[in-house]
Amino acid sequence: MDKLIITAALTGAATVPTQSKFIPITPQEIAADAVACAEAGAAVVHIHARNPENGMPSGDMAVFGEILQRIKAESNVVVCTTTGGGFSMTPEQRVRVVPTWKPELATCNMGSINFGLYQAARHYQSTDYRFDWEEAYLKDSENYIFANTFKGIRTYLEFMKAAGTRPEFELYDVGHIYNMAHLIETGVIATPIWMQFVLGVLGGIQATVADLVTMVTTADRVIGRENYNWSVIGVGYPKEFELATTAMFMGGHVRVGLEDNLLVKRRTPATNRQLVERMRRIAEEFERDIATPDEVRQFLNLKGLANVGY
């Protein structure tokens, strides 16, 4: 794929609403951002659900359904639903979106990490938070294991196979590449695979160019260049844009969005649309064409919007 695939990760579960007023919360807001990002050049949107009342990450299937239906009504964009969910959810709650709504694409997280968000709490007093769950959500992550066991991964993939949903593998550390190789060798994962290197989560590998080169060269050696395609997320600003720009010259694709980074320029809070627009401008500076949703469907062998469950 010569064209660049831009994924927009719209809301996530690793931030709290106090951190940016632009984080979309309700199904209407999330769907509106999806449509805006697609117009700006994103071929894929990655979605999580939040409780519309208080912004807490949610596994409510009705909320997911409303987000998915609203997006489908207005846009042809590929939707990749999370199975990472949020910190309070069980593995069963996290995966339920797959059998319920049968999306084209869903994440599959490739290993367990202590997903540490607690440093973000340093910037706030208790009275600063918009909602009462937010402070504990950030601080408790000091002791939170984002669990993705080998059995869990296998189970998630069985749900995806039954739903005709293709996995997008999320790798947060070098060890996850070796997990991937093990699961390929044992027949749990079939090639070719589509993966996101998630760099910059505290608890995983960090978001420098050297770390990205480590991930790609390790994957080339362990999995084989011909067996995978990849995209990168650099968590935080300016890492999101530094790694995305670097990835463009290494044969990779890019993910931007408020799930991972809240700024579009130094000290300037971003909207999702602005993050996609800036990424597109960078790509255009280097005369790189942008992939359309249908080109991504063909590239990743997705089943198509006519075959989703919503």
Q: Which is nearer to Zn ion, 48 or 102 (by Cβ)?
A: 48
If you count them, how many residues does the chain have?
310
- Contact status, residue 176 vs residue 110, Cβ threshold 8 Å: yes
Between 170 and 199, how does the x/- string for binding to ligand KMH read (CB under 6 A)? x-----------------------------
Whole-number minimum distance, CB 175 to ligand KMH, in Å? 17
Cα–Cα distance for residue pair 171/136, rounded to 1 Å: 26
- Residue 134: left (phi > 0), alpha (psi -120 to 50), or beta? alpha
Of 19, 75, 81, 82, the residue at the interface with Zn ion (CB under 5 A) is 82
Residue closest to ligand KMH (Cβ): 84
Of the candidate spans 82-90, 202-210, 230-238, 297-305, the one that interacts with ligand KMH by CB under 6 A turns out to be 82-90
194 binds, among Zn ion, ligand KMH, none (CB under 5 to 8 A by kind): none
Of 13, 77, 233, 290, the residue at the interface with ligand KMH (CB under 6 A) is 13
146 binds, among Zn ion, ligand KMH, none (CB under 5 to 8 A by kind): ligand KMH
Q: What's the token pair of residue 9?
A: 């990760």
Task: Enumerate residues 15-34 that contact ligand KMH by CB under 6 A.
Answer: none
Residue closest to Zn ion (Cβ): 82
Q: Does 109 bind Zn ion (CB under 5 A)?
A: no
230 binds, among ligand KMH, Zn ion, none (CB under 5 to 8 A by kind): none
Task: Enumerate residues 193-252 that contact ligand KMH by CB under 6 A.
Answer: none
Between 7 and 26, how does the x/- string for binding to Zn ion read (CB under 5 A)? -----x--------------
Of the candidate spans 7-15, 125-133, 209-217, 227-235, the one that interacts with ligand KMH by CB under 6 A turns out to be 7-15
Q: Does 271 bind Zn ion (CB under 5 A)?
A: no
Whole-number minimum distance, CB 172 to ligand KMH, in Å? 8
Q: Does 83 bind ligand KMH (CB under 6 A)?
A: yes
Q: How far is CA 20 from the centre of its chain?
A: 18
Of 115, 159, 197, 228, the residue at the interface with ligand KMH (CB under 6 A) is 115
- Contact status, residue 114 vs residue 145, Cβ threshold 8 Å: yes
Of 109, 231, 271, 272, the residue at the interface with ligand KMH (CB under 6 A) is 109
Cα–Cα distance for residue pair 7/233, rounded to 1 Å: 10
Residues within the interface to ligand KMH (CB under 6 A): 12-14, 82-86, 107, 109, 115, 146, 170
Binding site for Zn ion (CB under 5 A): 12, 82, 84
